[in-house]
Structure 1
Amino acid sequence: MEEQSSEPEIARPTRSLAAVTAQLLVSGGPFEMETAEVGGVATRVWKHAPPHMRAVIESSLEHGEATALVYGDERLTHSAFYRSTAALARRLIDDYGVAKGDRVAIAMRNYPEWVIAYFAATAIGAIAVPLNSWWSGPELEFGLTDSGAAVLVADRERIERLGGALERLELPLIGVRTEELPEGARSWDAVLGTVACDQRLPEAEPAPDDPCTLFYTSGTTGRPKAAVGSHRNLATNIVSGSYSRFRSLMRLGLEMEEVQAYVDGMGPSVVLCVLPLFHATGAQTVMLPTLANGGTLVLMYKWDPEEAMRLVERERVSAITAVPSMIAQMTASPRLGDYDLSSLMMLASGGAPAAPALVSRTRRSMHEMLLGQGYGLTECSATATTNGGSDYLLRPDSAGLPVATVDIAIFDAAEQELPPGEIGEVWIRGPGVVHGYWQRPQATAAAFSGGWLRTGDLGRLDDEGFLYIVDRVTDMIIRGGENVYCAEVEAAVHEHPAVAEVAVVGIPDEVMGEEVGAVVRLLPGRELTGQELAEFLEPHLAGFKIPSRVHVVTGELPRNAAGKLLKKHLKREYGWSADEEGPAGVP
């Protein structure tokens, strides 16, 4: 599809934020708030949010024979989804002795079984532990050991990666979509057996603030940390998503009743899930709202821009949330005009900020639709601010406005709140902020205090409350939506016998946002190429963490008086700064 020669005209907001917010938050409306005590802190919460994940899966019965899950040629109705979830929940209790608070690990691709296992565990008060399916065997083993998982639900690839670790862990295993199983493991079909037409969930009474999930997020020490999410944390997103969509449309002058009529007229959403479900964004802002509202979740095994467009056409997909690199690949595809994408009404980016140039390119190459992006962390259940509609087009470099239940503040190093325009650390408070880190009391104390989450991101607020993220306090790279912490990669590189020291940095990249780069100093008399280093790291790190650009040096790396590596100096020296073009590849 050829790009148009000029930008489409941007419709400017016609109603003030104050007027829209006052109408949305009216008493008795769907976005009514109330105050609840969460962790000893008075917190604004959505009054009409589901109380727990059990209520979400029970609502599937209300949607009956409408399609809930699509994977390839497989289709599962909401009622069948409920029955399979209820059957697995019963087996977890009866066959595996899973009780309230026990951890159920899930390690697989985006299969329907992932969704069923997640809801089966959380519906009975157990804690779902989504493990990164890109992790290597040792990384998966760490997650299982750290979480103290009582049972593992995994597909063939993850089982193969774990290898002998499964025997060492003596962990019950339910194998998904695999014919070969280790001794003692059972297949998914054998565990579920015949699912009765009147199958119902076993009795359980989860509370809103009970632990519900452990989503792993890397830490600056290089060891992943698990954020302890509650039922309330996750259920908050179901209402927050609707609130943000209403706010964007009402800013254009529509009344609340008009927006509701528009949403009702569209029918249940059909959402293409292109993000991995082990990510907070994929599970909490894509999967949960879609199923809770009676929509259809179309699952992809792995990202492929042409396959995504084919699914949009075939399933009449109405919404996609993707990382910016995925959107860039779609809009740049030479086959963009070969597919009927007219059903697509909303295209949002998450997981990493989208460059303003990408917003312009999307508007030129695709039909009119609601564009937007959000900002959040695993530690705040993925959603803190949203930027959509005309606000996004006018401020594409902004992370948006906080949802009504969230407070955003900017603090300096002395923990003094800063006025609009001043840059400092972004702090978040609201019902999405998790309980802390699993078995990490010191890390929890450092990041959470009095209901506030210290994000480690640098940002500023403008006079209207729009948030702008300008940098990161923590040493982190975001590659295609995946968080890569330099300390973890540096520790792995240091394991190579030829390496004396290493500095890992983020390199700006148009497609992935950032690539992983490394400057390596070798020990005297040793030799090492970038390819040899990549091969060495492959068994130890997930592929997205392995440096794609490596510069080998013999001299000392630059450090300051305190001994800290001067990474900005290195990025400038090797042309890896944002305003300079980096090396073409691995030397």
Structure 2
Amino acid sequence: MPITELLEENARKYGNDVCLVEINPQIQETRRMLWKDFDLIQPTSDLSYRREITWHVFNEKANRFAQLLLSRGVKKGDKVAILLMNCLEWLPIYFGILKIGALAVPMNFRYSSEEIKYCLDLAEADVLVFGPEFIGRVETIAEDISKNRILFYVGGDCPSFAEDYDKLTSNCASVSPGITLSDDDDAAIYFSSGTTGFPKAILHTHRSLMHSCIVEQQHHHQTKDDVFLCIPPLYHTGAKMHWFGSLISGSKAVLLKGVSPETILDTVSKEKCTIVWLLVPWALDILEAIDTGKVNPADYELSQWRLMHIGAQPVPQSLINRWKHYFPNHQYDTNYGLSESIGPGCVHLGIENIHKVGAIGIPGYGWQVKIIDEQGNEVKQGEVGELAVKGPGVMKCYYNNPQATAEVLHDGWLWTGDMARQDEDGFYFLVDRKKDVVISGGENLYPVEIENFMSRFDKIKDVAVIGLPDKRLGEIAAAIVELKDGAECTEEEINEFCLGMPRYKRPKKIIFAPVPRNATGKIEKPKLRKMYCGDNMIEKENQS
């Protein structure tokens, strides 16, 4: 069934129950307030800012926006882009779009003006909904993008080049638009990470979204009593699809804006969160804060916290071993997925398989997985090849890009571009991105393997391995090493630690510098290659 029916069912069954909480720590009292007609503002003694809504209000807000869109001529099949930071308005706007059969088009909040315009044109968006943080960026392109689309602004002091979302929706009916939807209807366009240039538009149906709900609950067993802490940006499939576990179970979720070990633990404690999805950098920050005595878990109420899971990038085994040391009662899961596979869950470790930490896991609920060579033939168990997945959550296509679609979709199978192997127990291990493999003297070096080994060194906070051009070997492995706060370490110490690896895998160059990660926690290797390799690696960045 279409995913919008879950929202309407929750509004009927749990209308007065809180479904979403927004927390912005250390907010200033002068901040622009939204939705003043509801008594949602709950300032606290530590100057944090808290708002909440019920399932009834959520559904009502979605209906009001749906009615507004219809009144402005937006119809089934049209596209509505969302450019907002995480906030209470985000998800009702998303569902208002879906309710009329239009396509929701979430956009990365880090996009420049040029990228915003590019993605609006690529998705053929008819409407843009944006917030206060983006006034400057949108204003520079407003004259161009407003010629053929509507601009709605969410927030106080609406700029002159847009229309006021809050005022307009307050005058709209709160009843369901009554548009008939099917599982096969197009529902959303997400954008690829854009690590090899401008992003591609990924088209998903209602069937994809609904399957993601089912997968999330099957993997993490959400009930009405769970409370999910959502920190990553909602434009990303990972955050959205993990929240779908709250949607399908009718349970509460907390949107936390601003991240530090203290705010995460404080929010888990005060909101009684039971499930937290972290990115690797945040988990590392929490562990380092505990190691250094900056925070003490005993100062917080954490006994209800049952599950910590991680996705979006490879997870070092050493990280989880450290985590279990401090939180021995936590269940843990690794989530693997792509925006093309409607986010996390096509492969996952499984909370019952903690003994296999280091693997990305086994096929997710309703998914098939295989490892193939360059011709699409399955490789022998234990051999490295490209990971391919198949299931109800595979994208329909890259929107308006049949050539790119044909490169990755083959008889229903999505070729992920990730290199992996399967062990004798049937568990899949991610080796690396196909384009990130370093070929040194004819040997394939997989940076993730080297990174996982080096991350065990107690002075290293984060590490990224890339290939640098070399006249003799073609490429050599270079490690960009970010040390823990206050740690002192020499290149000789790093090299001595790396003696535990085979000689050919040891990095030939050590660079002490910060490791850049994007909003979803992935190492920005194209940025590192540009910094340290320059134009010599352009060809590699263009590989798909």
Q: TM-score normalised by the shorter chain: which range applies?
A: 0.7 to 0.9
The change in CA–CA distance for 1:131 and 1:320 in structure 2 (over 3 A counts) is same
Residue 180 of structure 1, CA deviation: 4.2
| Deviations, residues 188-234 of structure 1 (Å, cap 9, x unaligned) | 211211566xx221021121122111110035651200110111111
Aligned-residue RMSD, C-alpha: 2.8
The change in CA–CA distance for 1:470 and 1:347 in structure 2 (over 3 A counts) is same
Does the 8 A contact of 2:349 with 2:362 survive in 1? yes
Written as runs of structure 1 = structure 2, the 5 A alignment for 1:323-334 is 323-333=279-289, 334=294
Written as runs of structure 1 = structure 2, the 5 A alignment for 1:86-101 is 86-94=63-71, 96-101=72-77
The change in CA–CA distance for 1:363 and 1:195 in structure 2 (over 3 A counts) is farther
Residue 245 of structure 1, CA deviation: 3.5
Residue 512 of structure 1, CA deviation: 8.1
Residue 568 of structure 1, CA deviation: 3.5
Q: Indicate the SS of the match to 1:582.
A: strand
Find the aligned partners of 2:463 and 2:118 in 1 and give their Cα distance: 26
**Aligned with residue 359 of structure 1, among 320, 337, 351:** 320
Does the 8 A contact of 1:331 with 1:366 survive in 2? no
Q: Indicate the SS of the match to 1:212.
A: strand
Q: Which residue of 2 aligns with 1:491?
A: none
Find the aligned partners of 1:442 and 1:292 in 2 and give their Cα distance: 36
Does the 8 A contact of 1:273 with 1:320 survive in 2? yes
The change in CA–CA distance for 1:583 and 1:475 in structure 2 (over 3 A counts) is closer
Q: Which residue of 2 aligns with 1:388?
A: 350
Q: Indicate the SS of the match to 1:177.
A: coil
Does the 8 A contact of 1:84 with 1:195 survive in 2? no
Find the aligned partners of 2:212 and 2:437 in 1 and give their Cα distance: 25
The change in CA–CA distance for 1:295 and 1:559 in structure 2 (over 3 A counts) is farther
Find the aligned partners of 1:222 and 1:513 in 2 and give their Cα distance: 25
The change in CA–CA distance for 1:513 and 1:87 in structure 2 (over 3 A counts) is farther
Percent identical pairs in the alignment equals 27
| Deviations, residues 53-94 of structure 1 (Å, cap 9, x unaligned) | 221221221221111110132110001111111111110111
Written as runs of structure 1 = structure 2, the 5 A alignment for 1:289-368 is 289-333=245-289, 334-337=294-297, 338-368=299-329
| Alignment-mate amino acid for residue 279 of structure 1 | H
| Alignment-mate amino acid for residue 350 of structure 2 | G
Q: Which residue of 1 aligns with 2:80?
A: 104
Does the 8 A contact of 2:67 with 2:172 survive in 1? no
Q: How many residues align?
A: 444
Find the aligned partners of 1:228 and 1:387 in 2 and give their Cα distance: 27
Find the aligned partners of 1:282 and 1:152 in 2 and give their Cα distance: 21
Does the 8 A contact of 1:398 with 1:466 survive in 2? yes
| Deviations, residues 72-123 of structure 1 (Å, cap 9, x unaligned) | 32110001111111111110111x2111111100011101111111111112
**Aligned with residue 143 of structure 1, among 110, 119, 138:** 119
Find the aligned partners of 2:169 and 2:311 in 1 and give their Cα distance: 35
Find the aligned partners of 1:347 and 1:571 in 2 and give their Cα distance: 29
| Alignment-mate amino acid for residue 316 of structure 2 | A
Does the 8 A contact of 2:467 with 2:475 survive in 1? no
More displaced 10-residue stretch of structure 1: 224-233 or 321-330: 321-330
Does the 8 A contact of 1:427 with 1:454 survive in 2? yes
**Aligned with residue 366 of structure 2, among 394, 401, 405:** 405
Q: Which residue of 1 aligns with 2:484?
A: none
Does the 8 A contact of 1:138 with 1:162 survive in 2? no
Find the aligned partners of 2:395 and 2:124 in 1 and give their Cα distance: 19
TM-score (norm 2): 0.76
Runs (5+) with no aligned partner, structure 1 = 1-50, 247-262, 478-504, 520-556
Residue 469 of structure 1, CA deviation: 0.8
Q: Indicate the SS of the match to 1:222.
A: coil
List structure 1 segments (4+ residues) > 3 angstroms apart after TM superposition: 218-221, 505-519, 557-560, 565-572, 574-582
Residue 569 of structure 1, CA deviation: 5.1
| Deviations, residues 410-429 of structure 1 (Å, cap 9, x unaligned) | 11122211232121111101
Find the aligned partners of 1:461 and 1:418 in 2 and give their Cα distance: 10
Do residues 283 (structure 1) and 240 (structure 2) align? yes
Q: Indicate the SS of the match to 1:57.
A: helix
Does the 8 A contact of 1:313 with 1:340 survive in 2? yes
Q: Which residue of 2 aligns with 1:582?
A: 510
The change in CA–CA distance for 1:189 and 1:421 in structure 2 (over 3 A counts) is same
Do residues 464 (structure 1) and 425 (structure 2) align? yes
Q: Which residue of 2 aligns with 1:75?
A: 52
Q: Which residue of 2 aligns with 1:245?
A: 220
Q: Indicate the SS of the match to 1:164.
A: helix
Find the aligned partners of 1:340 and 1:176 in 2 and give their Cα distance: 35
Does the 8 A contact of 1:53 with 1:123 survive in 2? no
Find the aligned partners of 1:244 and 1:378 in 2 and give their Cα distance: 18
The change in CA–CA distance for 1:200 and 1:389 in structure 2 (over 3 A counts) is same
Written as runs of structure 1 = structure 2, the 5 A alignment for 1:25-64 is 51-61=1-11, 62-64=13-15
Q: Indicate the SS of the match to 1:456.
A: strand
Q: Which residue of 2 aligns with 1:222?
A: 197
Q: Indicate the SS of the match to 1:228.
A: strand
**Aligned with residue 153 of structure 2, among 145, 155, 175:** 175
The change in CA–CA distance for 1:55 and 1:512 in structure 2 (over 3 A counts) is farther
Written as runs of structure 1 = structure 2, the 5 A alignment for 1:143-222 is 143-170=119-146, 171-183=149-161, 185-194=162-171, 199-218=174-193, 221-222=196-197
Residue 386 of structure 1, CA deviation: 1.4
| Alignment-mate amino acid for residue 205 of structure 2 | S
Q: Indicate the SS of the match to 1:317.
A: coil
Residue 305 of structure 1, CA deviation: 2.4
TM-score (norm 1): 0.70
The change in CA–CA distance for 1:117 and 1:579 in structure 2 (over 3 A counts) is farther
Residue 181 of structure 1, CA deviation: 1.0
Residue 323 of structure 1, CA deviation: 1.1
Residue 336 of structure 1, CA deviation: 3.5
**Aligned with residue 268 of structure 1, among 210, 222, 225:** 225
Residue 466 of structure 1, CA deviation: 1.3
